[in-house]
Amino acid sequence: MNRLLFIALAACSAKPAIDHDDSPKHRPGEAHVNLERIAKAVKKGFAETKSFPVATGALLPTGNETMHCCGGKDSGAATNKCQPDAARFKADPGWAKLEFSIAEPSNYQYTYTSTAKTFTAYAIGDLDCDTQMATFTLSGIVNAAGDPELTFNSAPRGTY
């Protein structure tokens, strides 16, 4: 096999940062998709500088102080979602550094903190508005070999 073709095939089959079952019953939800977007931004930054992008991304999009996105409205109608606000993401130094924002109504709020050798990103939401927050976590470390290792943790079963 042509060496370049083999390298291209190997790159295409590389495992995503977040491993999920993509069957119709188990399609990744909003939290998975957006944390995967954050993972790609972090990996891009690491490839350029050999360290994680050092930043703090505020808890966005803005929601209700105690209920997060529950109680959210769009044009006066209850949606229980946070409304997108690209300007707030762009104005936040941490999110701007990752070039990350939410472009549509969201069930989750996101936050990111990092040092050059570690980072943690969270997706926090309450889809059924029962005040039990579902927290998804994406974290990373630079291992002893100097390579990034990313870990994804889903919210516990039964927490929405």
Token pair in block for residue 15: 């495992």
What pLDDT score does 2 carry? Answer: 36
Q: What is the mean pLDDT of residues 140-151?
A: 96
- Domain count across the chain: 1
**What is the rounded CA–CA span in Å between residue 49 and residue 43?**
10
| 86 located within any domain | yes
Q: Which domain holds residue 72?
A: 30-153
| 11 located within any domain | no
Of 11-20, 50-59, 67-76, which gets the smallest average pLDDT?
11-20
Report the predicted TM-score, pTM, of the whole model to 2 decimal places.
Answer: 0.80
- Computed over every residue of the chain, the mean pLDDT equals 83
Q: What is the mean pLDDT of residues 65-86?
A: 84
For 123-135, give the DSSP string.
Answer: EEE-TT-SS--EE
| 6 located within any domain | no
* pLDDT at 86 exceeding the cut of 70: yes
Q: What is the pLDDT of residues 1-46, one digit of tens each?
A: 433 333 333 333 344 444 444 333 434 699 999 999 999 999 999 9
| 10 located within any domain | no
| 126 located within any domain | yes
Closest CA to 99 of 16, 49, 43, 15: 43
| 90 located within any domain | yes
Q: What is the pLDDT of residues 94-114, one digit of tens each?
A: 999 999 999 999 999 999 999
What pLDDT score does 105 carry? Answer: 93
| 158 located within any domain | no
| 1 located within any domain | no
